[in-house]
A = this chain, B = another copy of it.
Amino acid sequence: MTPEEMMQVAIEAAETSKTPYGAVIAKGNQIVEVAGNTVLTEHDPTGHAEVNVIRKLATKLGDRSLEGYTLYTTYEPCPMCASACVWASISEIIYGASIDDFEDYNPNLIDLRCKDVIQRSPISIHLKGGVLLEQCKHLHDVYPIE
């Protein structure tokens, strides 16, 4: 699968969760786990798609280290999710829309970018945004932002 095809699966996970947020984890060109956002459905403030997909895969594998894996997410990870990627030793984060891709800044965000967290972390994580950007931005028109 191409990065765009991986992101398409993350978009479908967002749609399934009826939020703008979906994530997948891949090893090489194979998707190994998928999750959407469960903040509202499970009343879990930590239930962001990235945290959910990391928890699901690591506990399934019985290994807290996901070194060598790539996380795809429809939206730039917040500081909670960026930190979760660090603690999971994720090797690469690929996201769709970034905070700065929206003209109107959302005042309900924590004003730290994913790269700010990664740069201050003890590991090196490759970071890339803008994959299927317009489709990921469009999710915010369809589903409410939390």
Number of copies: 2
Does chain B have a CB within 8 A of A46?
yes
Count of residues in A whose CB is under 8 Å from the partner chain: 40
Are A46's CB and B46's CB within 8 A? yes
Does chain B have a CB within 8 A of A124?
no
- Chain B CB within 10 Å, residue with most, of A39, A63, A86: A86
Collect the chain B residues with CB atoms within 8 Å of residue A63's CB.
43
Does chain B have a CB within 8 A of A99?
no
Closest Cβ–Cβ distance, residue A52 to chain B (whole Å): 9
Q: Which A residues contact B (CB, under 8 angstroms)?
A: 39-40, 42-46, 48, 51, 54-55, 58-59, 61-66, 78-80, 82-84, 86-89, 107-112, 116-117, 120-122
